[in-house]
A and B are shown apart, each in its own frame.
Chain A
Amino acid sequence: MSLIEIKKVKKRYKVRKFGKTYSFMAVNDVSFSVEEGKCVGLVGESGCGKSTLGRLIVGLENPTEGEILFKDESVSTGSDKKVPKRLKFARDIQMVFQDSYDAVNPKFTAKKIIEEPLKNFTDMTAEEREKEVVDLLHKVGLDEKDKDKFALEFSGGQLQRVCIARALASGPKVFILDEPLSSLDVSVQAQILNLLSDIKKDMDISYLLISHDLEAVYYLADALVVMYGGQIMEKIDDISYFDKMKHPYTQRLLSSIPAYEKLDGVQENAEMVSMDLHVQADDFSGCPYVGRCPKRIDLCKEKRPEMKELEPKHYAACHIL
């Protein structure tokens, strides 16, 4: 059963430049689902709309078009103006943010940070909350005496653990992990990754892991979605298809992992064109990757490729596949 279903979600932002207003699709017609107890990896480079998608799912922002369903109930109202029905789903859908130092109030102690969702969602007394905070600290591998430390007294990895404890506090069903590792150094990344993997096993929480680190995603994810320019390029529902992914953009992402370069023989071509904003403009009808794609054909500029099923559980949007 799918826990979260994202149906043809679009998010349009207005960018004002020299007095002219441009429409800009941060997320363009994205559909996929997160199955119960599974982890979906969402990869793509900076600015491809993956964080926006995360914010849409937790209800910090509303999609311009389309629907996001949690257990077959709409999370968003589908209109930009209306306030998201955030509180109703906040207990079930929690988020872990990218930079842990930025994601906690520097004036708060660990106890106060973790207590916040408990205060908002439960009727616990002060003693019950205190006990729960200690429990949560143990769960994320921190000590009881850490509860009175202020946010800035923790190291980056420890603070990310506090953030995970805060997200766990409300007893959620889904975690949106918005690049939880990118602000940490490599050895700490591995620890947090193991912690996340343990939590997933023990507490039966589904993950949406937003990242640009393919190796981390491969370690944790059961399914993978590759985004570029606000659109899904390739999607596999089973991580064992990882080696068979063949969209030109995915190939390029894979070639950025040093170990993969030699295996696949994919060479990074010399031209480095930065992602153009115009491919995300409202009226652009081609494939967003057309500017950088080494295998582009004329059709790519004119028509947006549809999502095709290449084999069971493996989908890609490309004209040449």
Chain B
Amino acid sequence: MGSKIVLKKFFTKKSTIVFLCIIAAIVIAGILAPWIAPHDPVEQKLENKFLMPSWEYPMGTDNFGRCIFSRILYATRKTLGFSFLCTVIAAAIGITLGLIAGFKGGIIDTIIMRTCDVLYAFPSLVLVMAIVGIFGTGIFNVIIAMLIMQWLWYARVVRNLTASEKCKSYISAAKVCGTKNTKIIFSHIFPNIIPYMIAIFTVDFGHTILSISGYSFLGLGVQPPESEWGAMISDGRSFINTDSWLMFWPGIMILITVVIVNIIGDHMRDALDSQSV
């Protein structure tokens, strides 16, 4: 029953379906960018700079005469792709360590959780700066730095959920039935915490989009001439008084995506809460 009821509850809200459609449209547009985009995103035509939106250039052009619409489409791939990659890896590491810590307890639990505490106390911007400072700028260094800071959110939640599931007597029953510990973790505990993980994952995905864009805005992530939403805002900020749509388009994309992802995460959580009643 469990997850089926949650899914049913999740999809009965009409707004959820609308939001899912919007997110799906953005993702598909990103995937199909090479076919949809009307222009080459890095091709410069200086005679066309600062054009207003038109049929030829749906979102206008920037200071190098590049088509903003094409750049936004290609940037979707970078921003969402790297955010997704980062969140998935962080979730995988965090869930694995959390399951181990919660199930084993004792010294292993202490080591993993105190590591979390130490990292938690560390400002993430400083860590990203340090890693980028040592290994050089680039999106992969930023992702590595973000992974170091991100897995612990999952580890903490999973650890506590696992520890509380472990005390229930169905785990004892499984032991009495001769089930081995690894199998108990994967076939008993893990399916019971997956719904919570999906909710956290969705909200965390929104945060990661913001962070990746933020670091690119600061010039640490994606490097020019490649486009990325945060980097595009940064490029456009010199022209805020004269040609503000340079910032407006990438800004509105970040806003829409993050808000919708967060709302979906909230709906997911509501659906989960209704199950526990």
Knowing A150-B1, A153-B1 touch, does A104 contact B176 (C-beta < 8 A)?
Answer: no
A107 with B191, Cβ < 8 A, contacts A60-B176, A91-B178 known? yes
> Contact between B169 and A107 (Cβ–Cβ < 8 Å)?
no
- The reply to whether A102 and B168 contact each other, CB–CB distance below 8 Å, is yes
**Cα(A120)–Cα(B181), bound, Å:** 12
**A121 to B178 Cα, complex, angstroms:** 7
A183 CA to B176 CA, complexed, in Å: 21
1/0 per position for B166-192, CB-CB distance to A under 8 A?
001110111111110000000010011
> Interface 1/0s, chain A 104-122, versus B by CB < 8 A?
1111000000001100110
Q: Closest approach, in angstroms, between the C-beta of A110 and any C-beta of chain B?
A: 12
Whether A120 contacts B168 by the Cβ 8 Å rule is no
Closest B-chain residue to A176, C-beta based?
Answer: B176
Contact A98 B178 (CB under 8 A): no
A116 touches B175 (CB 8 A): no
* A90–B178 CB distance below 8 A: yes
Choose one: B170, B172, B177; the contact of A117 (CB below 8 Å). Answer: B177
Are A60 and B177 in contact, with the CB atoms below 8 A?
no
B2 x A107 contact (CB < 8 A): yes
Least Cβ–Cβ distance between B175 and chain A, in angstroms? 6
Contact of B188 with A117 in the complex, beta carbons under 8 Å:
no
In the complex, A58 has a CB within 8 A of chain B: yes
Q: Check B192 against A107 for contact (C-beta < 8 Å).
A: yes
- In order of increasing CB-CB distance, the 9 nearest A-B pairs are A120-B178, A150-B1, A117-B177, A90-B178, A97-B169, A103-B169, A116-B177, A107-B191, A102-B169
Q: How large is the interface on B (under 10, 10 to 19, 20 to 34, 35 or more residues)?
A: 10 to 19
Least Cβ–Cβ distance between B186 and chain A, in angstroms: 12
Asked whether B3 is an interface residue with its Cβ less than 8 Å from the other chain, the reply is: yes
Would you call A170 and B170 a contact (CB within 8 A)? no
New contact pairs (4) apart from A58-B176, A152-B2, CB-CB < 8 Å: A105-B191, A106-B1, A107-B2, A117-B178
B3: chain A residues at CB < 8 Å are: 107
**In the complex, how many angstroms separate the beta carbon of B93 from the nearest chain A beta carbon?**
24
Indicate whether A55 reaches chain B with its CB closer than 8 angstroms.
Answer: yes
- Measured between C-beta atoms, what is the minimum distance from B117 to chain A in Å? 20
Q: What are the residues of chain A within 8 A of B169 when measuring CB–CB?
A: 97-99, 102-103
Interface residue from A104, A153, A169 paired with B170 (Cβ < 8 Å)? A104
Q: Which residue of B lies closest to A94 (CB)?
A: B176
* B contacts with A: majority SS: helix
Chain A, 166-213, CB within 8 A of any chain B CB: 166, 169-170
132-183 of chain A: CB within 8 A of chain B: 150, 152-153, 163, 166, 169-170
- Across-interface contacts of B173 in A (CB, < 8 A): 95, 97, 103-104, 163, 166
Q: Is the CB of B177 within 8 A of A86?
A: no
CA distance in complex: A98, B3 (Å): 26
Distance in angstroms between the alpha carbons of A150 and B275 in the assembled complex: 14
- A124 at the binding interface (Cβ < 8 Å): no
Query: Chain A residues with Cβ under 8 A from B188's Cβ?
Result: 105
Q: How far is the CA of A104 from the CA of B188 in the complex (A)?
A: 10
Is A87 interfacial (CB-CB < 8 Å)? yes
Min CB distance B120 to A, Å, is 25
B177 / chain A contacts, CB cutoff of 8 Å: 90, 94, 116-117, 120, 166, 169-170
Q: Note all chain B residues with C-beta closer than 8 A to A86.
A: 175-176, 178
Q: How far is the CB of B150 from chain A (nearest CB, A)?
A: 27
B170 / chain A contacts, CB cutoff of 8 Å: 102-105
For B1-33 the 0/1 string (1 means CB < 8 A from A) is 111000000000000000000000000000000
B191: nearest chain-A partner, CB-CB: A107
Interface positions of A from 71 to 103, Cβ below 8 Å from B? 86-87, 90-91, 94-95, 97-99, 102-103
Least CB separation from A112: chain B residue: B187
Known contacts A55-B172, A60-B172, A102-B169; is-contact A170 B191 (Cβ 8 Å): no
Q: Cβ of A91: which chain B residues have Cβ within 8 Å of it?
A: 178
A94: B residues at CB distance < 8 A: 176-177
Which A residues are CB-close (under 8 A) to B192?
105-107
B40 shortest CB reach to chain A, Å: 51
Choose among A95, A104, A106, A116 the residue that contacts B2 (Cβ–Cβ < 8 A). Answer: A106
Within 8 A of A (CB), among B176-221: 176-179, 188, 191-192
Contact A116 B179 (CB under 8 A): yes
Which of A87, A150, A152 is close to B178, meaning CB atoms less than 8 Å apart?
A: A87
> Are A170 and B178 interface neighbours, CB within 8 A?
yes
Alpha-carbon separation in the docked complex, A99 to B173 (Å): 11
Would you mind naming 5 contact pairs between A and B with Cβ atoms under 8 Å apart?
A86-B176, A95-B176, A106-B2, A116-B177, A170-B177
- Nearest-neighbour CB distance to chain B for A91, whole angstroms, equals 7
Query: Which residues of chain A are within 8 angstroms of B168 by Cβ–Cβ distance?
Result: 102
Q: How far is the CA of A99 from the CA of B169 in the complex (A)?
A: 8
- Whole-angstrom distance between the alpha carbons of A120 and B184 in the complex? 12
User: Smallest CB–CB gap between A291 and chain B, Å?
Assistant: 30
> Could you tell me the distance between the alpha carbons of A102 and B174 in the complex, rounded to whole angstroms?
12
Q: Which residue of A lies closest to B1 (CB)?
A: A150
The CA of A317 and the CA of B270, in the complex, are separated in Å by 57
Contact of A90 among B1, B2, B176, B191 (CB under 8 A): B176
CB distance from A57 to the nearest CB of B (A): 11
